[in-house]
Structure 1
Amino acid sequence: MPIESSAPPQHLDELLALLRENFAALSPQFQGGARYLLDHPQEIPILSMRKIAVDAGVQPATLVRLAQFLGFEGWQGLRELFVEAFRGGPQPYAKRAKKLVRDSGSSRLLAEMLDTQHRNLDLTGANNAESMPRAADLLSAAPNVYIAGFRSCYPIAFTFQYIYRLFRSSAHLIRGDAGTLEMELRALAPKDAVVVVSFAPYSQEIIRVASAAKQAGCRIVALTDSTVAPIALEADCTLLFSVDSPSFFPSITAGVAVVEALVEQLLAKKGKGAIKALELAEGQLHQTGAYVQARHG
């Protein structure tokens, strides 16, 4: 990591790469500021340093010291890299939704929630335009794909495995039922791919899955809320989804959208083979009575 007298990064990509590479070695205060810079670069040119500090959960002086630690004279020098990168580009996405207002009416609450989900999806789409095809290539090349997500992330992982398995039998869900997580992780082998899903606060189980995948020589795809999430720091590919919500609990809507989009690309890559497998799966489901038969007449 550069020291205060070092020459500062000259381009935004260089700065962001430096922060990702050295994030684990930063102090907790610096990590708070660095996380915001990495995850919300589009907001740095338009927000005041004080507002950024509030959103990042740090003191304004921390941002100044972080900039100096990176070799800048002060915050303005660091901020200028973001301004230059976004000058002439698309307009930044809307700010996060306002906090829940106790006296708001039900129609207001619904409008806030839907508006936030729209922004979550817009931001998620912008963040994954380049990484989504890489993730599809990585998973398509793997002999087996394992998917893990625990607690509130379980629906995301289950949705991905359920849909993907309709045309790929070698897609497996890691569940860890009845304390069997370690037994399931023994199946991981080199060249397999492991998809890990989590957002802050990150579960201990997902860290264990990611560590086991790395030790086994698997490729790792992280679906998470931050480029410096524990599961993202050593992942081969990271897909980001926004969890903003005006309610009391983070939203998983954008996470489900990410896995649906990823399955769409995986199906397209496999082509006719996927269509044949999908037709077979649908036929079997109907024949075994999985669906209610439509009544005629």
Structure 2
Amino acid sequence: MSPDAPLDRLRLALPELPPRLREAARYLADHAFDATTRSMRELAADAGATPASFTRLAQALGYAGWEPLRAALVEARRPPAPFSGRARARDDLPAAMLAADAAAIGALDAGPVAAAAAALHRAPRIWCAGFRSCRVVAGLLHYQLRLFRPETRLVGAEGPEELDLDAFAARDAVVLASFAPYSAEAVRTAAAARAAGAGLVVLADSPAAPVARGAAHLLRFEAGGPGFFHSLTGAVSLAQALAAAVFAAGGAASLERLRQTEARLAELARYASEGESR
């Protein structure tokens, strides 16, 4: 069975399907990723169809029901060995990776950062989100923003992420970092931000990314490269630039908060003394 077998089967069957099933099939073909991350009832509601239509569609395609079709769609999207499949032995790999990262930084667009920072500055509360390797990006942004914006939160830091997603509010800002293959957690976070009416700022590798749907601001970075791990260099650079721009937007108030934070850290002896650091 080819990786695209479920969609291939759907497209071949499309001309012969009854009108209502044809509408459900067209929706499914255009939203195959959503079908792997959302419930059948949610899909049906968005498609203007009934859940039974998706069950009948699955059966018309030769599956026992919706869940077997959904499982086939999930399997079709599963990347084959994302790391080991990219691993290659080459003597110049370190140099090639550094050159690729330098090029990725050079290709970053600073323009959208200012607009995104202005949105974060206006928000009474900022949520930082990233999953799997992008947790590093979210954690860095959270740390830097907390120095002068103490109301900043890291999704999933203090318990199940679902509790934080349920806490998103309309005036909040949600900053989400992700790249292909996009994690289900990232897709759920973006959907929760949209549902709450929060301002969504996305750091992603493509404007077509499912996490970028409905985002108020998209900061794009290149995650590819010669290494077998994806590169986070561009995402980290954008996160640092974003934090700096939010700080600048806050003016004297940001500076005063930063001074207060530094004073508390010094009082708690968070930094080694000069003698201890040698």
| Interval containing the TM-score (normalised by the shorter chain) | 0.5 to 0.7
Out of 228, 251, 254, the residue aligned to residue 248 of structure 1 is 228
- 1:177 is displaced (CA, Å) by 6.2
SS of the residue aligned with 1:223? Answer: strand
2:174 is the alignment partner of 1:194 = yes
Whole-angstrom distance in 1 between the partners of 2:87 and 2:226 = 5
- 1:198 is displaced (CA, Å) by 0.6
Whole-angstrom distance in 2 between the partners of 1:232 and 1:27 = 14
SS of the residue aligned with 2:213? Answer: coil
1:214 paired residue number: 194
Out of 118, 121, 144, the residue aligned to residue 137 of structure 1 is 118
Out of 227, 231, 237, the residue aligned to residue 217 of structure 2 is 237
Whole-angstrom distance in 2 between the partners of 1:177 and 1:262 = 24
1:77 paired residue number: none
2:251 paired residue number: 271
- 1:234 is displaced (CA, Å) by 1.1
Unaligned runs of 5+ in 1: 1-23, 29-98
- 1:25 is displaced (CA, Å) by 7.1
1:258 paired residue number: 238
SS of the residue aligned with 1:271? Answer: helix
Q: How does 1:97-176 map to 2 (within 5 A)?
A: 102=89, 104-105=90-91, 108-124=92-108, 128-175=109-156
> Which amino acid counterpart does residue 149 of structure 2 have in structure 1?
R
- The alpha-carbon distance between structure 1 residues 101 and 186, as it changes in their structure 2 partners (threshold 3 A), is closer
Unaligned runs of 5+ in 2: 1-27, 33-85
> Which amino acid counterpart does residue 120 of structure 2 have in structure 1?
L
- 1:227 is displaced (CA, Å) by 0.5
SS of the residue aligned with 2:218? Answer: strand
- The alpha-carbon distance between structure 1 residues 181 and 233, as it changes in their structure 2 partners (threshold 3 A), is same
Contact 2:174-2:193 at 8 Å conserved across structures: yes
- 1:112 is displaced (CA, Å) by 0.7
- The alpha-carbon distance between structure 1 residues 269 and 241, as it changes in their structure 2 partners (threshold 3 A), is same
- The alpha-carbon distance between structure 1 residues 27 and 294, as it changes in their structure 2 partners (threshold 3 A), is closer
SS of the residue aligned with 2:107? Answer: helix
Contact 2:190-2:212 at 8 Å conserved across structures: no
Whole-angstrom distance in 2 between the partners of 1:129 and 1:160 = 17
Q: Give the aligned CA root-mean-square deviation in angstroms.
A: 2.2
- The alpha-carbon distance between structure 1 residues 101 and 208, as it changes in their structure 2 partners (threshold 3 A), is closer
> Which amino acid counterpart does residue 229 of structure 1 have in structure 2?
A
Contact 2:130-2:138 at 8 Å conserved across structures: yes
- The alpha-carbon distance between structure 1 residues 220 and 117, as it changes in their structure 2 partners (threshold 3 A), is same
**TM-score, with length taken from structure 1:** 0.62
Q: CA deviation digits over 1:216-237, x for unaligned, max 9?
A: 1111001110001011121011
- The alpha-carbon distance between structure 1 residues 27 and 217, as it changes in their structure 2 partners (threshold 3 A), is closer
Task: List structure 1 runs of 4+ shifted beyond 6 angstroms.
Answer: none
Contact 1:213-1:219 at 8 Å conserved across structures: yes
- 1:154 is displaced (CA, Å) by 0.2
2:17 paired residue number: none
Whole-angstrom distance in 2 between the partners of 1:287 and 1:175 = 29
> Which amino acid counterpart does residue 251 of structure 2 have in structure 1?
G
Whole-angstrom distance in 2 between the partners of 1:217 and 1:266 = 21
Number of residue pairs the alignment of both structures matches: 197
- 1:130 is displaced (CA, Å) by 2.4
Q: How does 1:60-79 map to 2 (within 5 A)?
A: none
- The alpha-carbon distance between structure 1 residues 292 and 144, as it changes in their structure 2 partners (threshold 3 A), is same
Comparing 144-153 with 186-195, which one deviates more in the overlay?
Answer: 186-195
Identical counterparts, % of pairs: 35
- 1:129 is displaced (CA, Å) by 2.9
1:280 paired residue number: 260
- The alpha-carbon distance between structure 1 residues 27 and 136, as it changes in their structure 2 partners (threshold 3 A), is closer
Q: CA deviation digits over 1:147-196, x for unaligned, max 9?
A: 11011000000000100110011111002666x12212222111111111
